Amino acid sequence: MAGQQPHLPEQGALQELVRHRYRHHLTPEQFEAVQQEVAAVAEMIASLQAVPLANHEEPFTSFIPYRREN
């Protein structure tokens, strides 16, 4: 992870925040695992941002009325 370029500016900022606040509380293995999770979240953010949505589009909802059984 150390040599990998951030996918998004947010990834670099999150990694720096973790490094600054928590590095002294974590073992090197734990810190590396957290960095990998931050990278995974950044990849998910990039995937979501890549989907083009118009302003009028909303999430799909499914309504199923409850019918009491007799």
What does the pLDDT look like over 48-63, one tens digit per residue?
A: 888 898 888 888 888 8
Q: Is 11 exposed, middle or buried (0-12, 13-18, 19+ CB in 10 A)?
A: buried
pLDDT in tens, 17-53: 888 998 889 899 999 999 899 888 888 888 888 889 8
User: Which whole number is the average pLDDT over 4-10?
Assistant: 63
Q: Between 37 and 11, where is the model more confident? A: 37
Instruction: Reply yes or no on whether the pLDDT at 65 is more than 90.
Output: no
pTM exceeds 0.75, yes or no = no
